[in-house]
Amino acid sequence: MADIESISENLELKIGGMSCAACAAHIEKDLNKMPGVSASVNYATEKATITKSGNFGVKDFIKTVENAGYQVIKRADTESENTENNPDSNGIEGELSALRKRLLICAILAAPVILLAMIPPLQFNYWQWVSLALATPVTLWGAYPFHRAAFLNIKRGVTTMDTLISLGTLAAFIWSLFALFLGDAGMRGMTHDFQLIAHPKEAGSHIYLEVCSGVTVFILAGRYFEKRAKVRSGNALRALAKMGVKEVTAVREGRQVKIPINELKKGEEFITLPGEKIATDGVVVSGISAVDNSLLTGESMPVEVRVGDQVTGATINTYGHLVVRATEVGANTQLAQITRLVEQAQSGKAPIQRLADRISAIFVPAVITISLLTFVVWLLIATPVTAFTCAVAVLIIACPCALGLATPTALLVGTGRGAELGILIKGAEILESTRQVDTVILDKTGTVTGGNMEMVSIFPEEEVSVLHQVAILESGSEHPISQAIIRAASQKGITLNSAQIPADFRNYPGGGLSGTVEGKAVLAGNRSFIEERGVGIAPQMLAVLNECSRRCETAILVAVDKQVKAVFGFADRLKENSAQAIEILKDLGLKPVLLTGDGQEIAHQVGKKLGITEVIAQVKPKDKVEAVFAKQRQGALVAMIGDGVNDAAAIAQADLGIAMGSGTDVAIQAADITLMRSDLLAAIDAIRLSRRTLKTIKSNLFWAFAYNVAAIPLAAVGLLNPMLAGATMACSSLFVVGNSLRLRSFQPVNAG
């Protein structure tokens, strides 16, 4: 167990001994009774998430959990980043192995008991005693976890699903002992038929060993497959944790030193060879390569990196020799943050789950009451055997295991699948938001467009000499358009160096540049900048400007010695899949709105290309928040998709905030969903996956409720044998788990 010291405001505990959602509900209730404590216990992840504001420490929370009859395995929030040192990395596998062993042994022992009871020709002399010998270890040892949990909870005056199972199996076993030792069921030649419904035999001549054995096996099978589902659904999270490297080649005092990754410090340089994983987040200080980000983002195309570019830990260096300076280490890396986000989402509870928890809390006492009433009523109108059979069937069939599994298993699988696809859902409540939103506001630059200006036209085309002159001038500026000109010049074989920057170089923010290049006065800027300096624009050039505007291009005029020589057109190109994404948004019933700081004409042209009819242009960063708020005042439920610092406040204001993973940290922190792919289709995938997960939860809950509503009356009126009831109950849980696992087959819209 982790050290027991005072803790920070937030804490996670790994809980052992929970067998059902009702167990989690009782632990959660006890923790929340502590003053200043807010706790949420998730049965699927077996974790308690605690926020405290008082003077309580870990010891206090552990004591509360243990007093409830459960145990704290360890501090979940202090787990090692290295999964090899994480005691839980093999813990769940060990639990699964122990449960598998218990199930196999019980199944082998129970099979003859069930067959002998079901097939009268197999009933030889004293077969009932053989059944007792086989059924006893199944009922007492095999079902021990249920009995123990029931006993501990009864001591506290509470009931759980284990209470129902324990009462049902022990009642059947004790009744059988009574019939064998005090009745005539133990006599030579005793036989009885197997029936699916209750039957009026005398108490002393009928045994229920097949019931206590069969129910135990069925319940154990349900728990085993449930546990296995947890292992499978948690694979994505464990895969994330295992992606990190264990050793790194650090550069210290000019020497290469192999050290454990946890010894690498922020600011240190390290080497990544071709084919190796990059050890941690950093910036390239030497080398050129391409980095495969597919493990984190889902994008298959490697990204070129050179000096000054950011790289992410756990991504793969494909071909070059890179020296990287660590900018983040340990818990602050992007990989660690992603892992925490996924865990946070899986540990949370959707509003629909809280409803299920409340129902489960009152369900068990209600079922026990119904069982007692069933026994009393049947005792008045039929035999004690019939009364007992119906009462036990009610106890067993009513176990709301499926109800407890409905939400957490779907959430576990859905968020895990999202992590595999580069979609990080911060919390369970986000699922409800994706269903409710009806309006999607999209930032333009970096969201629907690439975010990089490119030169897309030159007039006249033969003016390469002018391009050379203006490129020399632009080399003194870091403006995106200047950089686009330099890139265009490089593509045409024009070489530049910093020594060429004119001595009289001058930058006019929002206008353009001026300077003397090769003895000629060169001006480069927008129309107003050129005209303000007394340079006339020929009609032919004006026609080119109008054409650029029509094509949504930003036009830059170049004047040499007071004469306009060329017009360059620039555009932030639409991302390849943006138009497709907008169409899918509409198909999903969502109204797209384009939000941008660009001028009206360009913004509306982009909107037209994308099929967006509502465009909000010329907005400043603070106005983006107001734009979202304005939609909300009109009654719209708004999703905001953006990537920049200027989008962060609007993302936070929206009912559903979605940040492109290529964007800034502040935008990502403000978002409800983070996309590790810069493709707008990833936002579509996030909404589709969230909606499908919510749909799966609802179908699970419907089945769980429908099953109990239909089955309890059938058992109460004597239409179900207790063993059949146990099998049916186990099947309902397996159905819920299997339905949730279907989320693993979710495919992105651009798959294949």
Q: Residues, the chain, total?
A: 752
Q: Are 743 and 346 in contact, with CB atoms under 8 Å apart?
A: no
The end-to-end CA distance of the chain, in Å, is 46
Per the rule left: phi > 0, alpha: psi between -120 and 50, beta: everything else, 79 is beta
**Rounded Cα gap, residues 594 and 611, in angstroms:** 10
Please, are residues 14 and 43 in contact by the beta-carbon 8 Å criterion? no
How far apart, in whole angstroms, are the C-alpha atoms of residue 260 and residue 239?
20
CB atoms within 10 A of CB 368: 18
**Residue 711, C-beta contacts closer than 8 angstroms, at least 6 positions apart:** 397, 398, 720, 725, 728, 729
Which among 379, 387, 390 has a CA at the least distance from the CA of 711? 390
Quote the tokens at residue 175: 């009744």
Q: Which residue has the tokens 């696809």?
A: 421
Q: Which of 281, 292, 443, 647 is catalytic?
A: 443
Residue 623 DSSP SS3: helix
**Position of tokens 């495969």?**
292
Residue in 105, 128, 118 with CA at minimum distance from that of residue 216: 105
Distance from CA of residue 71 to its chain's centroid?
Answer: 27
Instruction: Give dist(CA 523, CA 530) in Å, integer.
Output: 7
Tokens read off for 362: 């009152």
What share of residues in the chain are helix, strand, coil (percent, to 5)? 55, 20, 30
Contacts of 396 (CB under 8 A, 6+ apart): 164, 165, 168, 169, 215, 715, 722, 725, 726, 729
In order of 103, 221, 396, the CA distances from 168 in angstroms are 19, 17, 6
In this structure, what token pair is assigned to residue 241?
């944790």
Rounded distance between C-alpha atoms, residue 376 and residue 361, angstroms:
25
Give 265's Cβ-side CA count (13 Å radius).
4
Q: How far is CA 726 from the centre of its chain?
A: 33
Has 193 been annotated as catalytic? no
Tokens 């559903």 correspond to 656
- Residues annotated as catalytic (active site), given as ranges: 443
